Amino acid sequence: MTDLLEKLRPYLEMARDWAVTPAAWGQAVALVVAVLGARMATRALRPILLRVLTPAEGARGVIALGQRQLARLMPLLAPLLIAGFVAVAEEVIRGAFGTGGILGFAKRFMLFLVVRSFVRDVLRDNFLRTYGRFFILPIAAVYALGLLPVVSEYLSQLKVPLGNLSFDLLWLVKFGLFGGLIFWLGRWSDNRSQAYIEGQTDLRPATRQLALKASVVAIYGVAFLILMNVMGINLTALAVIGGALGVGIGFGLQQIASNFISGIILLLEGQATVGDYVELDGGEQGTIVKMTMRSIILETFDGKWIVVPNEHFITTRVVNYSDQGSANRLEAEFSVSYDTDINLVPAIIEAAVAKHPKVLDSPAPPDCELRGFGESGIDFAVEFWVSGLDDGPNKYVSDVLFLIWNALKDNGIEIPYPHRVIEIKGQGGAPLAG
């Protein structure tokens, strides 16, 4: 301990001598005046800014949105004003005494507090808060200590080998810093563009899906190119490397490429889109709930999801029952007793079925047909058109059968049930009397 104190003694004596100089006292006084002035300015400005930045109740639009976003920055007001006042005081002291180290450190420290408050109190996006905590705050802390040039020089000398290539840690830090920010901006732009495109109800669903996929590719492609330019990566060399990699792994990605191209063809032709009810060549049926770059997701009426590669919609037979609201023909079978005047049945049934609110008059009204003469009764069937499928929330055939039952009962027409005659023969072959 004695040896350590002896080594530090010259520095302690230097600090003591400097502390009694006019420059040191001037910086201390200037720092106190700057902090007090900034706090007074904060108390005066905060109520005015809150009043200006508070939009009218229920107000919407760009101006109201801008006011709300600026109001979220109010926690930064006090440290920003202190940093500003200290920066002015630093310039004054440097002009008077030629030094201002204390004020410079105080300014950098207040800027660190601004960044810390911004990350902790202003940012709401989980990705941005994590990004700020692990990238922005450490850089701000190093800057506040005045070590940013030293740390940057040290990181630039640490090389990381990667085969025949190598890069320094400073380049890696820059890549994480700029890459995270650029791709967050890409994701934000993607979300906004998707919300705008999905709101264009005048466009066909297939066109909207194609526009969504095109916007995703364009936004992230531009983000990638910007990142490469910022990092100083030669795009020509990247193209050569990409071509070599493409040749090497192309055979392994044939199916993915095929599904990608098939998805674009489906969106362009509009043969199937979200909301359609389809039946695949293998017998699977379901409603299309999502179309991705690689596959189409079907949801069955029992809640199961079926992931179907896009290529199957191009190379195999697919039955589309919906085609965005087209009508489907269904039929309900029934029988009447042989005692019925069958000439009256068609008019009665057609009138009853037409009362159903979902039964269409076009392309054809309900049509009751005689199908045959059965063992127990006369067989009829009524054909009718609806916009939808008889499954899930829609029970068209069930509803129509209820209407048929009630119509037949109201008109005194009997619905038959099987009759059987049993003969029991005794000894000698004569029937036994029961």
- DSSP-assigned letters across all residues of 292-311: -SSEEEEE-TTS-EEEEEHH
- Are 289 and 298 a contacting pair, CB within 8 Å? yes
- Are 328 and 389 a contacting pair, CB within 8 Å? yes
In CATH terms, are 256-263+272-320 and 328-410 the same topology?
no
**CATH for 256-263+272-320?**
2.30.30.60
> Domain coordinates of the chain in residue numbers?
7-146, 172-249, 256-263+272-320, 328-410
Q: Express the helix, strand and coil content of the chain in percent, nearest 5 each.
A: 60, 15, 25
Closest CA to 404 of 337, 336, 340: 336
Beta bridge partners of 307: 297
- Are 114 and 84 a contacting pair, CB within 8 Å? no
**CATH for 328-410?**
3.30.70.100
10 Å Cβ neighbour count for 137? 17
- Are 139 and 93 a contacting pair, CB within 8 Å? no
Residues composing the chain? 434
Each of the 434 residues of the chain gets a pLDDT tens digit; together they read 566 556 555 655 555 555 556 777 777 888 888 888 888 998 888 888 888 888 877 777 778 778 787 888 888 888 888 888 888 888 888 877 777 778 888 888 888 888 888 888 888 888 888 888 888 888 888 888 888 888 888 888 887 776 666 677 887 788 888 888 888 877 777 777 777 777 777 766 666 666 777 777 777 777 777 777 777 766 665 565 566 556 555 555 677 777 777 777 777 766 777 778 888 887 788 888 888 777 888 888 777 888 888 888 888 888 887 654 567 888 999 999 998 999 999 999 999 999 998 898 888 899 999 999 988 899 999 999 988 776 656 788 999 999 999 999 999 999 888 766 777 766 555 555 54
Q: What is the DSSP string of 20-81?
A: TSHHHHHHHHHHHHHHHHHHHHHHHHHHHHHHHH-PPTT--SHHHHHHHHHHTTGGGHHHHH
**DSSP 3-state assignment of 87?**
helix
Amino acid 29 reads V
Please name the residues in contact with 383: beta carbons below 8 A apart, sequence gap of 6 or more.
329, 330, 331, 364, 366, 367, 368, 369
Q: For residue 18, what pLDDT is reported?
A: 53
